[in-house]
Amino acid sequence: MRLTTAYLFIHILIFKIMLFNLAKQDTASKLNSPKYRLYLVNMNDVDVENWPVATDATITVDVLLTGKKWFFLDSTVESINPNAAPGQAPINGVLTLTPVIEGISKKSLEYVYANNAQDFLVVWERCADKQKFIGGTPCSGGLKLTYTSIGNLENGIGGIALQLKGGECPEPFYFYDGPLEVDSTP
């Protein structure tokens, strides 16, 4: 009985140490509202063979093949909703982004049709502190872009509702402090 009590005491002590050694979170890190802009690149343009190892859950280097650039997509602020839900395996997560493009233009509709069911690497930014995140890493196979609605959307606006969903991965997204060279072609 003494061994069990000592064993339990040690586990409680370790648990308390783990809880109390974690620094207090910055207030900005608790505000999840993302900016309206997503940066996307097709997985064919990602340097998968030389994917960097994250340090402190952060990717800090360029992850694209030489000469490739990011494209951006503007959406309504409330719509991006990054969410990493548990996968079927207990150690995996599945990242889903649900941006809504307000309005329908020839370019936006062409882009959505041309890229429907394609896999992308995506970067988004948190408004409060400008921190960037990257999802759709090679581990998850990229985030598959699909449209869920084109036309009149639930909130009364016309536009294109998208879903970007990845496969199961132990680390569905990271912080991103690497470069974001954007293609200037409209």
- pLDDT tens by residue, 156-186: 888 999 999 999 999 999 999 999 999 876 5
CA separation for the pair 54, 57 (Å, rounded) = 5
User: Please, what sign has the CA dihedral across residues 153, 156, 96, 183?
Assistant: positive
User: Model confidence over 56-91: pLDDT tens digits?
Assistant: 999 999 999 999 999 988 887 777 788 889 988 888
Instruction: Domain ranges for the chain, please list them.
Output: 25-176
Q: Write down the pTM of the prediction.
A: 0.79
Instruction: Scan for tokens 């049709």, then name that residue.
Output: 113
Inter-CA distances, 89 with 113, 134, 166, Å? 33, 22, 14
Question: Is residue 1 pLDDT above 60, yes or no?
Answer: no
Q: Please give the structure tokens belonging to residue 164.
A: 């970007």
Q: 70 φ, ψ to 5°? A: -80, 150
Q: What is the pLDDT of residue 17?
A: 45
**Residue bearing the bigger pLDDT, 185 or 93:** 93
The pLDDT value given to residue 34 = 61
| Mean per-residue pLDDT of the chain | 84
Q: What is the mean pLDDT of residues 95-119?
A: 93
